[in-house]
Amino acid sequence: FFSTMESVLRLFIDDLVPEMKGRPDVKLQRNEMNVLELHGVVDIRHATRLNIAVHRFLRESGEQQVSRKHLRIVVPKVRLGDVTTERERQVLAQHTENPDHLDPETIIDMPEWNADFVRASDRRSRAHIKPRYAQDDDATVDAVAAFVAEHCRRANGIVVHTGAGISAAAGIATYREGHDKSIAVSAALPTFAHYALVALARMGAVDYVCSQNVDGLHRRSGLPADKLSELHGNSYIETCGCCAPPMEFVRPYDVYSNKRPDPRYWGRYVQGPDGRRAIEANTDLTENERRSGIHHITGRACPRSGGALRDSVIHFGENLPTHALEEASRRARAAPLNLVIGSSLLVRPASKLPFAGAGPVAIVAMSCTGSDTAALKCGGVLLRASADAVMERVVRHLGLERFANRPELMDVLHGRVRQRDQAVLQSDGDVPYDGGADGGVVPEALLTGAPSAMAMDVSAPLLQLRQTHEPTRDGQHRWSLSLETVEGHADALQCVKSVSFNLHPTFTPSVYDVRQPPFRVGPFIGWGTFNVKVVVDMGPDTPEICTKFPLTFECSEKVLPVATAA
């Protein structure tokens, strides 16, 4: 039996990695615990397809594990002088503080798989080199997309970690390309990959997104705030620490660059008594501002409390937001797969988050990252491809045939983003950003026919939630929500003692307890959607019903059945 399983695994490997067929580089054998082990050496360029072959073998054979403990992943070596100029060697030596990089005879890892070349190509440094990119073939792109899609179908949904590369198609240059080739953040619109993540989050395939970007494109694409940790902040959001809980206000412009000409609050840098830079302001500084020496005062005042508003961008030397980091870590630990898109994984602590869990790590980037070998050793995959190309294949594998990367679709989605931006502008941005189940950007019709990653257990429901909606003349939306009986079960409402509707915390009040029919709240007026938590008290002898209703502004009426029994 054991010999048969080893032969089957070899067939999977030979089929997906023909470069290894008939070669003795990798051997299969059983250890004393009867666990299959891979022994030998594999070229890093073949390791992704090898891991996918092992994954398919485990899925088809019922085998529990294939150990990679004795498998060594190697990067092809080259002579430094054959792949660099003299100036590039000087820059490499400067960035790495390694004088061996001055010698053209030095043997190094191939530049496309060498993290030293990634660090040295950072254009924020005056001295930098040309970035080295690679591109995988279509077969590998599709194999990795299928690998990701398979993990998306698991109960929890995957966690996605995004860096500058996901926004490259929007015209925002990465650190490897330089700001001279970038459009302004305020002129950028979300990419197909951004919208695809919203669609996958809607169907339960993506559980959470952790982003290092400050361009705000995840929120503008419609990803709800409770599905996102913006570890380095958001250029479009300013916050008020005087409110409890702290309020967020979204603007259709970069809040730090767009200062008020007549600011109520101001902050400026002056020379302190010790000769160092200090902050002078007409409002109390936060603990973070006093510690870091960086002020975030935008000049605008909170429309609720009157306190000073501050931008949310995290600069070098400042601590990451505690809640965002803790939630990102918690989600990553529980994920069946952590998918990295467009990040070099060179900045801590974000670079460690994808490896917090026990599941594999998939890395999609155009250049080498600081964790390529670590991902492969854990059974993960690497892919040299653009974010849009990969996400297009992933949504196709998940059955979202209508969500194809076409100009017509992008025009529709971009138009909806601009419409929402205009609604924010008309309100002067003084409507707290309430995130949303989809933010009103991705139409529900595009998700029809897609299998849900989380099957709902709703059998013979007696109750239902009904939302009514109509647009207002100023671009906002009027809506109400009620609990009612399903047709033919009019007596079911007699068992309901009370209904609690938990709205977004920006509402005052944010919780409505309705203790007699009709069990209805509203009408309310706003421009963003969110999940309403609904708790139904059925009396002391029956467990309460707790569910979430995702608001939508796509139609005049939406009905959601409520499970009344486990």
**Angle at alpha carbon of residue 373, lines to 362 and 76, rounded to 5°:** 120
pLDDT at 224 over 70: yes
> What are the angstrom distances between the C-alpha of 296 and each of 315, 339, 463, 524?
10, 32, 49, 33
The larger pLDDT score, comparing residue 528 to residue 517, is at 517
Mean pLDDT of 405-433: 73
> What are the angstrom distances between the C-alpha of 70 and each of 75, 85, 370, 374?
17, 37, 22, 14
**HSE value, Cβ hemisphere, 13 Å, CA-based, for 369:** 32
3-state helix, strand, coil in the chain (%, to 5): 30, 25, 45
The larger pLDDT score, comparing residue 408 to residue 1, is at 408
pLDDT at 31 over 70: yes
Which residue type is seen at 283? T
Q: Which among 517, 511, 560 is positioned nearest to 533, based on CA atoms?
A: 511
pLDDT at 364 over 90: yes
pLDDT at 232 over 60: yes
pLDDT at 429 over 60: no
Which residue type is seen at 344? S
Q: Which among 185, 287, 310, 304 is positioned nearest to 238, based on CA atoms?
A: 310
pLDDT of residue 534: 92
pLDDT at 470 over 70: yes
Instruction: Assign 358 to helix, strand or coil.
Output: coil
* Mean pLDDT rounded to a whole number for the chain: 83
pLDDT at 145 over 90: yes
Place of tokens 């960086």: 294
Mean pLDDT of 61-89: 87
Alpha-carbon span 254 to 290, nearest angstrom: 24
pLDDT in tens, 451-468: 444 333 334 457 889 999
The larger pLDDT score, comparing residue 83 to residue 303, is at 83
The larger pLDDT score, comparing residue 124 to residue 195, is at 195
pLDDT of residue 178: 52
Alpha-carbon span 425 to 415, nearest angstrom: 15
**Residues contacting 322, CB < 8 A, separation 6+:** none
Alpha-carbon span 101 to 98, nearest angstrom: 6
450: tokens are 């897609």
Exposed/middle/buried for residue 43 (C-beta within 10 Å: 0-12, 13-18, 19+)? middle
Alpha-carbon span 385 to 45, nearest angstrom: 14
pLDDT at 164 over 80: yes
pLDDT at 129 over 90: no
pLDDT of residue 223: 87
Largest Cα–Cα separation, the chain: 86
Residues catalogued as catalytic: 232
The larger pLDDT score, comparing residue 456 to residue 403, is at 403
Q: Where would I find the H helices in 154-215?
A: 192-202
pLDDT of residue 395: 92
Alpha-carbon span 500 to 488, nearest angstrom: 24
Domains and CATH numbers, the chain: 2-74 (3.30.70.1770), 77-120 (no CATH), 138-233+321-423 (3.40.50.1220), 257-311 (no CATH), 463-562 (2.60.40.1970)
- Phi, psi (degrees; rounded to nearest 5) at 500: -105, 120
Q: Are 114 and 92 in contact (CB under 8 A)?
A: no
Place of tokens 């949310």: 312
pLDDT of residue 437: 33
The larger pLDDT score, comparing residue 346 to residue 512, is at 512
Q: Determine what percent of the chain is predicted with pLDDT higher than 90.
A: 23
Q: Are 333 and 356 in contact (CB under 8 A)?
A: yes
Mean pLDDT of 364-376: 87
Of 208-217, 300-309, 507-516, minimum mean pLDDT range: 300-309
pLDDT of residue 402: 82
pLDDT of residue 160: 96
> What are the angstrom distances between the C-alpha of 48 and each of 58, 162, 188?
15, 20, 33
Angle of helix 387-397 versus helix 138-152 axis, rounded to 10: 60
pLDDT of residue 4: 75
What pTM was estimated for this model as a whole? 0.76
Mean pLDDT of 121-132: 77
pLDDT-derived band at 182, boundaries 50, 70, 90: low
pLDDT at 6 over 50: yes
Q: What is the four-CA torsion angle of 419, 424, 425, 430, rounded to 10 degrees? A: 170
